[in-house]
Amino acid sequence: KYQIDREKIPEFEAYGKMWIPLVKKLGGVHHGYLLPHEGPDYLAYASFSFPSLADYEKYRAAIQDDSECKQAFEYARETRCIKKVDRSFFRPVFG
């Protein structure tokens, strides 16, 4: 869950579009971003998954050294589109 600057939703959307292929490149499946439409205009969500918690931990380590990930982080810092990030972990149930 992201708390975003409501004046910078286009910048946050651009940031999100950067991460979708990066998550895939680093072994995950990105399920997309949800941007404000009705209701609170300062909340956005992202959902992605990895085969295991160990794979997610590898991803978290890899994003620190990946040049494209560094560019995405820098974009968020420069635009100040993100105010706060809250990470939660869920276990999916399918079919």
Digits of tens for pLDDT over the chain (95 positions)?
A: 999 999 999 999 999 999 999 999 999 999 999 999 999 999 999 999 999 889 999 999 999 999 999 999 999 999 999 999 998 888 778 88
Given a contact cutoff of 8 angstroms between Cβ atoms, the answer to whether 19 and 30 are in contact is yes
3-state secondary structure of 82: strand
Predicted structure pTM score: 0.89
Q: With CA atoms as reference, report the closest residue to 48 among 62, 64, 59.
A: 59
pLDDT at residue 30, as a whole number: 95
Which residue matches tokens 């931990």?
57
Which long-range contacts (C-beta less than 8 Å, at least 24 apart) are formed by 24-27? 25/68, 26/58, 26/59, 26/62, 26/63, 26/66, 26/69, 27/51, 27/55, 27/58, 27/59
pLDDT at residue 20, as a whole number: 97
